[in-house]
Amino acid sequence: MSLPLPIIDPKRCTGCHRCVDICPTRALDQIGGKAVLRYPDLCTYCTACEDVCPTDAIHLPFAIVFARPA
């Protein structure tokens, strides 16, 4: 099963470039004036892009689980 990735809503994205600038691994890029996750393998799920987005266009879904004892 592939890992979940940030969800970017192109209708909300204004192309302000903040998420692209702040992404620590350069996984995000801007294409056609909209943010896109160009290199999904580089995404570390750090939530910096979600925190910096001024229009709530980026969301990262989390699964909430109990730690399993070894």
Partner 1 sequence: MYDVSAPDKSKLSQLLSGIPYFRGQGPAVVAALAACAIPRTFEVDAIIFWEDQPATGLFLVEEGTVKISRISKEGREHIMHLISAGDTFNDVAALDGGMNPATATACTAVKVWEIPREDLRRLAEQYPQLAWALVESIARRARHLVGLVQGLALRNVRGRLAHLLLSEAQNLDSDRVPRMLTQEEMAARVGTVREVVGRALRNLANDGIIEFDRHRIVILDPDRLAAAAEV
Residues lying near partner 1 in the complex (CB under 8 A): 3-4, 7, 44-45, 47, 50-51, 56, 59-67
Token pair listed for 31: 């294409």
- Give CA–CA dist 45/33, Å, rounded: 23
- Rounded least distance, CB 67 to partner 1, Å: 5
Query: 44 and 1 in contact (C-beta within 8 Å)?
Result: no
Q: Which amino acid is at 39?
A: Y
Q: Which is nearer to partner 1, 14 or 33 (CB)?
A: 14
Q: How far is the CB of 4 from partner 1 (least distance, A)?
A: 5
- Which lies closer to partner 1 via its Cβ, residue 33 or residue 40? 40
Single-letter residue type at 70: A
